[in-house]
Every structure is written in structure tokens, then in C-alpha cells.
Amino acid sequence: MPLPQLFTDPAAWQARCGQARDSGDRLALVPTMGYLHDGHRSLLREARRRADQGGRRGLALATIFVNPTQFGPTEDLSRYPRDLAGDLATCEAAGIDAVLAPSDPALMFGPVHQTWVEVEGVSQGLCGASRPGHFRGVATVVLKLFNLTRPHLALFGEKDWQQLTVIRAMAADLACGVEVVGMPIVREPDGLARSSRNAYLEPEQRQAALALSRSLAEAAEAAAAGRREARALQATARARLEAAGARVDYVEVVHPLTLRPVSEAVPGSVMLLAAFIGTTRLIDNRVLP
């Protein structure tokens, strides 16, 4: 595989993508914050596959940008893991054609940035309640990437279920002309959801973090057996998390599209949770049977 073409200037990236789109290429985009893991690899490989539909090789693209506007003042922006050389190698192995990795956040936002994207409804509650301003930062930078790239489709992981829902709502409401594709969670063999923040975990914390996926599995088993009261399912999951030493942020059973809490876990409802293992905040979710 050839090494992906690296862009650090968003204007040069915009020109390249515009030229490709105008020539009839199909553009598939994977926006990331870097430190790529197997979950990202699944997105990159699918972008390559989907870009090449119709018997013509399209353009598979990735962006690597640790977006400062989605981090709160006490969050882990300064220590968020970074490995551009490793990320480029991962993109190369997946067949990505070009990567945008701005060398300075100012290249994305300029000296004065006055316009923000607020997605109401689905951005409220859950992570939106715990991280004020987070989804405003996410939606703003994703819309900017859509405008710079003009992709036909963009791929995101379902592990960030609320983020995926916010981006889908934004793309539909603002007529972005982008198909937003959600891809299944990729897990470690023992069930832990892949996450760049897993790198923060000490060995004992890594073991404790299994409580997230195990509490979701237990809730799914209970729902499959006919236990449908959301409050009871949430209490069971919360108890397992706390028994593992986790500090629970939230455990909610919600409608998959509106993200509104439900009282009864009907098939297709989603249990979402967030918890701190030590100082590391992890999220996970599962569609209930």
C-alpha cells in the first residue's frame, strides 16, 4: 500500500478533495482524534471498501485532530494520547489515500472563531449533562470537516452512540448531503470496548473496567429473559459497576433515536453508561434484545 498523502493545511485538503469530487470520485471520510486502535481500523477498512463502489476506485480519507473545543477545562486535552507516525502506518495498512492532520488547532479555528453548532434534544442528558459544551465542540468541528471534505459518506463508531446520534441529526437538519454510517463496537477478547483512553489504565484498573461490558451483558440477558423495567436493569448495572470500584456517571436505558429515557426496555432500546475507573472516564453501550 502507498503511504497516505499527508495534509497539515485545511485549505490544501479542501482543494484536493474538491478536485476529486468534481472529477467524479466517491469520497469516504473517517474523522478521528488519532491514537488509532482496532475500532478505528474497522472504520478505515470500511471507508476503503465503500469508496470503491461502482467499479471505480474512490478516495478513502481520514482526519486526525485532537479537537480542543470538545474538552472541558478540567479534562484530559493535554495528555490525550498522540502517535501520528503510528496512525499514518495504520492508515497505510487500511488503504487510506490521504490524511488531514492539522499541525495547529488555529488552522482549524483561526484567530477568532464565533460560529458554533448546537444540536438540541439528542445532545442533552447523558454525556451532554456531564460534559457541558462537549457536543457543541464535536458538532462544530465535524461540520467544518464535512465542509472542507464534501464526502459522500462519513463513518463513526457506535461506541459513542450519543455522538453518532448528534452527528446524524446535524447532517440531516443542515442538509449536509453526507451519509452518516455507524459501525459496530470493536471489543477486546474479554469484552472491553476499544478506546484510546484505555491506554490510561493500570493493569488492575484494566481488569476493573471489564465491569462496563459485563454489566451491559447482564442487563441484556435479563431483558431477554423478560425483565423489562428500565429502572431495575439500570440498578443492576450500577451495582455491578460500583462493586468493581467504578464511580458511575450515568446508566440509562433510552430510545435509540431520540435518546429519551424509557420506562420499559422494549427490543431495540439502548443501555448507555459512563463510569470512571480511577480518573479515566469510559463509556459503553448495548442494544437490548
Residues assigned a catalytic role: 40
* Nearest to 117, CA basis, from 145, 103, 138, 99: 138
Q: Scan for cell 459512563, then name that residue.
A: 274
Q: Which helix (H) or strand (E) holds 138?
A: helix 134-149
Q: Left if phi > 0, otherwise alpha if psi is -120 to 50, otherwise beta: which for 184?
A: beta
DSSP string spanning 175-224?
T---EEEEEPPPB-TTSPBP-GGGGG--HHHHHHTHHHHHHHHHHHHHHH
Q: Which residues contact 76 (CB under 8 A, 6 or more apart)?
A: 197, 200
